[in-house]
Amino acid sequence: MDYYFRPPGPRKPDTELETDEEKEGLKKPKKEGSSHKEETDDRWAPEKSRDHKGPRKECPPIGMESHRIEDNQIRASSMLRHGLGAQRGRLNMQAGATEDDYYDGAWCAEDEAQTQWIEVDTRRTTKFTGVITQGRDSSIHDDFVTSFFVGFSNDSQTWVMYTNGYEEMTFHGNVDKDTPVLSEFPEPVVARFIRVYPLTWNGSLCMRLEVLGCPVSPVHSYYAQNEVVTTDDLDFRHHSYKDMRQLMKVVNEECPTITRTYSLGKSSRGLKIYAMEISDNPGDHELGEPEFRYTAGIHGNEVLGRELLLLLMQYLCREYRDGNPRVRSLVQDTRIHLVPALNPDGYEVAAQMGSEFGNWALGLWSEEGFDIYEDFPDLNSVLWGAEERKWVPYRVPNNNLPIPERYLSPDATVSTEVRAIIAWMEKNPFVLGANLNGGERLVSYPYDMARTPSQEQLMAAALAAARGEDEDEVSEAQETPDHAIFRWLAISFASAHLTMTEPYRGGCQAQDHTGGMGIVNGAKWNPRSGTINDFSYLHTNCLELSIYLGCDKFPHESELPREWETNKEALLTFMEQVHRGIKGVVTDEQGIPIANATISVSGINHGVKTASGGDYWRILNPGEYRVTVQAEGYTPSAKTCNVDYDIGATQCNFILARSNWKRIREILAMNGNRPIPHIDPSRPMTPQQRRLQQRRLQYRRRMREQMRLRRLNATAGPATPSTLPPAAPTLLPTLSLAPSPTPNSTLGPWHVLPETTAAWEDSETETYTEVVTEFGTELGPEHEDEEMAVPGPEFPFTTVETYTVNFGDF
């Protein structure tokens, strides 16, 4: 049903309105006005012919959607309830997770029969050229304004209505709740305040809006502290696919020695996904040099990250040529990869509507309909399931998890872009990265997927809540082993950003989930599965975060200089964090690099792998760490490494000695992989393990004594051929395992096989071999930590292990 309200005050004759305009300063400035006003107008936008009246300047949004207009600059005549106040009347404002809460999706007025309005204070004299209106964001309600009046003022007390020369001019609004509609003023109006008076509407009186206007005077000095001006001479405009490719080509031509343009692959529509590498040796991975990546445009309608990376390319190139020491150090010591458009198809869709006229989701998905951000393999479920079964790290590693087979099939339901991104991740040994997004102002770190707490954690959380304490147990379920490191990285960006840590701004769409810090755990804020961040952490060595640059997904071109200055220092600071922690090279005793060695840090249950050249990087917070390196066929090595607060990774190299474990595993596989009791030196032994170890040592001492006596007897008299055993094997040490029937109750736990004598090939180089048979019970993973009871001298072992161990020269 449509409703109608009358604007305030009687209508005035045209002559009286003109007089009031002159009195209130609402007349359009004359051409011969001050040069400062003309320069201000020219700075905002190019001229564009509209009709036979001649050129007309376009004015940008004043900042309702981007939140440059603060909450206390917006007022309304009334509100339906707190969650539908005037501050919710911003273009593209999104409702909270729960409908009808404190964060609903529009400004809505009371249902009383009185004149309603919403007002904006620009805090400066502004030339208004139009308004953009939108209905209420809701999955339940269908509310939008269909027509309205507009009024202006310089003091918020005396208001003049916009007329068509005869009466108040009626502007047509929306026909649905989602699509933005532009209402341009035939002639601009100069004022400080603007009001919109709804006349008719569908459903309830609810609306969202943006105002177009050019600043005529500087902002009043009281508010000038928030103004940001850039001094960099860069290409501040939106770039189409063709323009982006051309700009990257120009940057490469300007700095050919430090840049290289390449493609990750193609999108669903066949557009190439371009990347630019910036390094002192582009095209090659240098030993010991970490690799960093920034990606943007994973959602095609979130375009600020795309433009910031194009600006960053220009900035690094020009500052490197100009000798900026900070940029030179960054380029010479880091291999930087910048990908401005992971979803070029989506951008082309969003760009057709422009910066203010696409809705919240237009262009978000790929051409095939995938949300690329959360289309990656779900490795969280694989890891967490293995942890519940206690398979980590013996059967399932805690890092570099393989991709499940169902994702590798050519027929798998995976987007074309994701396949290209995964191949790119696996090809380059990235250490740190971030994807740039829009729609919020915060940094999100893994995990992004919410983990269901165990029953013990839920009970502990309930008890903590009853005592009024924090629910730490439930929180820890969403945290990675590198939680402290991720927080450090997130804070490094947020704290260097000019507005991200200002608590008075609040959240863009709902409450501030960051507590004023600008950082949040993804699973606590917006839980999702199969995200690029979680996949990168679990499948590769790269720590990846999501950076949400601002409330406006597609800011107006005039906002780009300000956004660049707001984000520039944060972008550089975050890149420098790739040089924090430890780094080094893992080689064997001959200096040959060892690839795929695992680097483990005590206290952090997540390792990293060495690259093909044996080099590795491990981002760590300042402190002292015990670092262990393990590799197939080599003896593990450990050392203590210190990390300082200053930027610059600590060198921590490792040299591994070869071991016989590779051959031992081959023999074990030939004999059915029967278990060998293994005592973890990092864990204290149980009393049962200690007794078994003592018995082994006692038995071996007896065996050595027996072998010594046999050797003495052999030297005293020659042995007969019938008593000589086969020659001892030359591979030392050797191991053999053989199945055995259940041991007889008369056999002790260390049953000795029939004695044999050794054949000595050299009287001066004598060795002896002992054959040890161990009986043990194989326990499942769920009983690994249980201590076996010892009922008496006999042990209830159910497996037999026979070792042939050579003790070397005697």
More confident: 428 or 452: 428
Q: State yes or no: cis peptide before 796, omega within 30 of 0.
A: no
Q: Averaged over 715-726, what is the pLDDT?
A: 51
Retrieve residue 571's tokens. Answer: 């972008």
Q: Percent of the chain, pLDDT > 70?
A: 75
Average pLDDT over residues 319-323: 96
**Residue 600 pLDDT:** 97
Phi, psi for residue 359 in degrees, rounded to 5: -80, -175
Burial code (b: 16+ CB inside 10 Å, e: under 16) for 590-621 equals eeebbeebbbbbeebebbbbbbebbbbbbbbe
What pLDDT score was predicted for residue 468? 65
Burial class of residue 742, CB neighbours in 10 A (0-12, 13-18, 19+): exposed
Angle formed at CA 199 by CA 194 and CA 200, multiple of 5 degrees: 135
Dihedrals phi, psi of 448, to nearest 5 degrees: -90, -25
Cβ-based neighbours of 704, under 8 Å, separated by 6 or more:
768, 770, 807
Q: Is the pLDDT of residue 307 over 60?
A: yes
Q: What is the pLDDT confidence band of residue 221, given thresholds at 50, 70 and 90?
A: low
Q: If we measure between CA atoms, which residue out of 581, 648, 584 comes closest to residue 620?
A: 581
pLDDT tens digits for range 109-159: 997 767 899 999 999 999 999 999 999 999 889 999 999 999 999 999 999
Report the pLDDT averaged over residues 69-77.
94
| Confidence at residue 34, expressed as pLDDT on a 0 to 100 scale | 39
pTM of the entire predicted model? 0.76
Q: Find, among 143, 140, 211, the residue nearest to 178 by Cα.
A: 143
Q: Please, are residues 116 and 77 in contact by the beta-carbon 8 Å criterion?
A: yes
> Which of residues 160 and 740 earns the better pLDDT score?
160
**Cβ–Cβ < 8 Å for 560, 237:** yes
Three-class SS string for 639-688?
A: EEEEECCCCCCEECCEEECECCHHHHHHHHHHCCCCCCCCCCCCCCCCHH
Query: How does the average pLDDT of the chain come out, rounded?
Result: 81
Q: What is the pLDDT of residues 662-673, one digit of tens each?
A: 677 777 776 667
- Structure confidence at residue 9 (pLDDT): 43
Greatest distance between any 2 Cα atoms in the chain: 138
- Identify the band that residue 659 occupies on the pLDDT scale cut at 50, 70 and 90: confident
User: What pLDDT score does 37 carry?
Assistant: 37
**Can you give the pLDDT at residue 737?**
38
Residues 447-468 have a mean pLDDT of 74
Confidence of residue 408 (pLDDT cuts 50, 70, 90): confident
User: Could you tell me the pLDDT band of residue 463, with boundaries at 50, 70 and 90?
Assistant: confident
**Per-residue burial over 222-241, b = 16 or more CB atoms within 10 Å of its CB, e = otherwise:** eeeeeeeebeeebebebbeb
Other Cβ atoms within 10 Å of 206 Cβ, number: 29
If residue 459 lies in a helix (H) or strand (E), which one and from where to where?
Answer: helix 455-466
Residue 681 pLDDT grade (very low, low, confident, very high; cuts 50, 70, 90): low
| Closest C-alpha among 180, 114, 125, 182 to residue 152 | 125
Task: Determine the pLDDT at residue 469.
Answer: 61
From 789, 706, 779, select the one nearest 394 (Cα to Cα): 779
Per-residue confidence (pLDDT) for residue 573, from 0 to 100: 97
pLDDT at residue 223 in the model: 55
pLDDT of residue 48: 37
Rounded CA-CA distance 800/676 in Å is 10
Distance CA 118, CA 93 (A): 15
Place 211 in a pLDDT band, splitting at 50, 70 and 90. Answer: very high
d(Cα 101, Cα 105) in Å, to the nearest integer?
10
Scan for tokens 């952490």, then name that residue. 537
* Residue-level pLDDT at 671: 63
Is beta strand 582-588 parallel, antiparallel or unpaired with respect to 654-656? parallel
Q: Is 354 helix (H, G, I), strand (E, B) or coil?
A: coil
Taking residue 786's Cβ as centre, other Cβ atoms within 10 Å add up to 11
DSSP character for 490?
Answer: H
Res 810: pLDDT = 33
The rounded distance, in Å, linking the Cα atoms of 96 and 137 is 10
How do residues 539-585 score in pLDDT, each as one tens digit?
999 999 999 999 999 999 999 999 999 999 999 999 999 999 999 99
Position 675 scores a pLDDT of 63
**Share above pLDDT 90 across residues of the chain, in percent, rounded to a whole number:** 60
Model confidence at 792, pLDDT cuts 50, 70, 90, reads: very low
As separate numbers, helices (DSSP H) first and strands (DSSP E) second, the chain gives 17, 28
pLDDT for the residue 43: 32
Q: Please determine, for residue 442, whether its predicted confidence score (pLDDT) is greater than 50.
A: yes
Three-class SS of 305-333: HHHHHHHHHHHHHHHHHCCCHHHHHHHHH
728 DSSP β-pair partners: none
The per-residue pLDDT for 393 is 87
Asked if 593 and 611 touch (Cβ cutoff 8 Å), the reply is no
